[in-house]
Amino acid sequence: MDSIYVTGGRPLKGQIHIAGAKNAALTLMPATLLSDEPLTLTNAPRLSDIRTMSVLLQSLGAEVQPLQGGQVLALSSHGLNSTRADYEIVRKMRASNLVLGPLLAREGHAVVSLPGGCAIGARPMDIHITALEALGAKIELKDGYLHADAPKGLKGAVVPLRFASVGATENLLMAATLAKGTTVIENAAREPEIVDLAACLVAMGAQISGAGTSRIEVQGVDRLHGATHRVVTDRIELGTYMLAPVIAGGEVECLGGRRDLVASFADKLEEAGVDIVQTAAGLLVRRNGERPRAVDVVTEPYPGFPTDLQAQMMAMLCTAEGTSVLEERIFENRFMHAPELIRMGAQIEVHGGHATVHGVKRLRAAPVMATDLRASVSLILAALAAEGETHVSRVYHLDRGYEHVEDKLGAVGAAIERVKGE
Ligand code: EPZ
């Protein structure tokens, strides 16, 4: 397993290219199952999760060909020969469950392993199941697999979601494109990745309106055709790198960054004393004082503050002036970065879904361990301003969601290096 070493104290200066969104690509890739014609995705991120999704799709008989070093993915499910998503692959990545809706719509049958829990929570699939059953699917759980059948095809319906689940909205949206009649998704997730998926499906011939709002309407069609689609910019990577100059000092331009992708997060940063300027190339970010100010954070479904930026924000608040309270409302166990930050001298008290952070002047380097994707990068961010050399182990978590983090931060002046196989 690789480690990353960071020596803190260097202000940052320069530009960081923001890649295509992992959480858009992971739902766009299974969309290839909805048509037997080729789907080409451009601006694809080069991440281990994308490779895992490729392996899953290939296990179903689909083709996934990375071109231009992985920035373009040429997909085709013309050779689809299985509807079974095996536990061995699904257990590595929850997003594997996004083949359920497309397989049901395309083949009328799917056997998909339950993902099992993960570090941040139990992550059940009840909302996915209820939603697809509303379209006429019969779904039962047997030996850890969801067995889904729609022998007569799917039929459009009005489907209220009890919670605006991103994945359930994506599975339902993809399935509805080939259902007979009209589907209305109520309390739909509104994330930019949903808007991106809908745009790709429309390019494939789907009839969708309202993506990005809580009410999405889909007129089912008989078949979808191929398309080429550009993956939207990754708003979580964007927010992550916006925090780097706030923590380390200096100024960084995040290329491809758009404020509308991170509006609530950017508002919070400005409240904390950060200057954010939209330039022609992206978002220019710098701290406008010696230390950021403490702010309170509550994570909510989009357009609220993203849960995927909570850990990174906490890293910044550890050295802010004053006391901040972070409330995590999306996942039941998403403060695992707190004990690691405390090892670096942070003052944090966690009680259930609330974390209280008393800002300190400086953190101190310490050996720390990555636990989940976003917690890992929060430790890297904290290390940028910590005294001494921080050793972050188990960085395979990082590689799931961040392209070459050491190259991107190193290019703007951070003292950071990866040591292979430690
Ligand atoms: C997506 O996960 C993202 N993953 C997550 O990003 C992100 O944190 C999450 O949305 C929330 O924004 C991808 O897009 C691949 P949910 P998803 O369904 O779809 C509960 C990252 O770091 N729930 O909106 O799984 C669930 O347990 C990852 O990139 C049910 O109870 O999120 C959670 O508490 C982490 N039943 C909450 O809803 C269900 O059937 C939000 O889940 C489904 C979800």
C-beta 52 within 6 A of ligand 1? no
CB proximity list for 13: less than 8 A, separation 6 or greater: 250, 251, 252, 412, 413
C-beta 238 within 6 A of ligand 1? no
Rounded to whole angstroms, how far apart are CA atoms 299 and 200?
28
Residue 251 identity (one-letter amino acid): E
Q: Looking at the annotation, which residues are catalytic?
A: 118
pTM score, whole prediction: 0.97
CB proximity list for 403: less than 8 A, separation 6 or greater: 19, 45, 46, 47
Rounded to whole angstroms, how far apart are CA atoms 155 and 168?
17
Strands 250-255, 227-230: pairing is unpaired
Q: Tokens 């290390």 belong to which residue?
A: 383
C-beta 137 within 6 A of ligand 1? no
Return the DSSP state at 92: T
CB proximity list for 106: less than 8 A, separation 6 or greater: 33, 34, 77, 80, 178
Phi and psi at residue 298, to the nearest 5°: -125, 125
Quote the pLDDT of residue 49. 95
C-beta 400 within 6 A of ligand 1? no
Which regions of the chain are under pLDDT 50? none
Output the residue whose Cα is nearest ligand 1's atom 37.
330
C-beta 299 within 6 A of ligand 1? no
Output the residue whose Cα is nearest ligand 1's atom 26.
123
Beta carbons of 224 and 34 less than 8 angstroms apart: yes
Output the residue whose Cα is nearest ligand 1's atom 44.
165
Beta carbons of 384 and 6 less than 8 angstroms apart: yes
Question: Ligand 1: distance of its center to the CA of 52 in Å?
Answer: 18
The alpha carbon of residue 315 and the mean position of all alpha carbons in its chain are separated, in whole angstroms, by: 19
Q: Which domains does the chain have, with CATH numbers?
A: 3-18+233-419 (3.65.10.10), 22-229 (3.65.10.10)
Q: Is residue 97 classed as helix, strand or coil in its secondary structure? A: helix
Residue 163 identity (one-letter amino acid): F
C-beta 94 within 6 A of ligand 1? yes
Distances (CA, A) of 264 to 259, 311, 331, 398: 9, 16, 19, 24
Output the residue whose Cα is nearest ligand 1's atom 20.
123
Q: Which atom of ligand 1 is nearest to the CA of 129?
A: 40
Residue 131 identity (one-letter amino acid): A
Rounded to whole angstroms, how far apart are CA atoms 214 and 135?
19
Output the residue whose Cα is nearest ligand 1's atom 43.
125
Residue 175 identity (one-letter amino acid): A
Quote the pLDDT of residue 118. 72
Q: Is residue 253 classed as helix, strand or coil in its secondary structure? A: strand
Q: Tokens 């007569």 belong to which residue?
A: 152
The interaxial angle of helices 235-248 and 310-317, nearest 10 deg, is 10
Question: Ligand 1: distance of its center to the CA of 236 in Å?
Answer: 14
C-beta 372 within 6 A of ligand 1? no
Output the residue whose Cα is nearest ligand 1's atom 17.
167
| pLDDT 10s digits, 86-127 | 999 999 899 999 999 999 999 999 999 998 767 777 778 999
Quote the pLDDT of residue 391. 96
Q: Which atom of ligand 1 is nearest to the CA of 127?
A: 40
Could you tell me the two tokens for 191? 């994330």
C-beta 160 within 6 A of ligand 1? no
Rounded to whole angstroms, how far apart are CA atoms 259 and 197?
20
- Ligand 1: which of 22, 23, 29, 237 to mutate, most ligand atoms within 8 Å of CB? 23
Beta carbons of 178 and 34 less than 8 angstroms apart: yes
Return the DSSP state at 395: T
C-beta 125 within 6 A of ligand 1? yes
Strands 323-327, 297-298: pairing is parallel
The alpha carbon of residue 401 and the mean position of all alpha carbons in its chain are separated, in whole angstroms, by: 7
Beta carbons of 362 and 319 less than 8 angstroms apart: yes
Question: Ligand 1: distance of its center to the CA of 165 in Å?
Answer: 6
Beta carbons of 283 and 18 less than 8 angstroms apart: no
Quote the pLDDT of residue 126. 95
C-beta 370 within 6 A of ligand 1? no
Q: What is the mean pLDDT of the chain?
A: 96
Q: Which atom of ligand 1 is nearest to the CA of 23?
A: 14
Beta carbons of 269 and 30 less than 8 angstroms apart: no
C-beta 200 within 6 A of ligand 1? no
Q: Tokens 């199941």 belong to which residue?
A: 129
Output the residue whose Cα is nearest ligand 1's atom 3.
23
Rounded to whole angstroms, how far apart are CA atoms 87 and 107?
20
CA torsion, points 94, 95, 96, 102, in degrees to nearest 10?
Answer: 140
Question: Ligand 1: distance of its center to the CA of 314 in Å?
Answer: 20
Output the residue whose Cα is nearest ligand 1's atom 1.
166
Question: Ligand 1: distance of its center to the CA of 17 in Å?
Answer: 26
Quote the pLDDT of residue 333. 87
Question: Ligand 1: distance of its center to the CA of 210 in Å?
Answer: 21
C-beta 331 within 6 A of ligand 1? yes
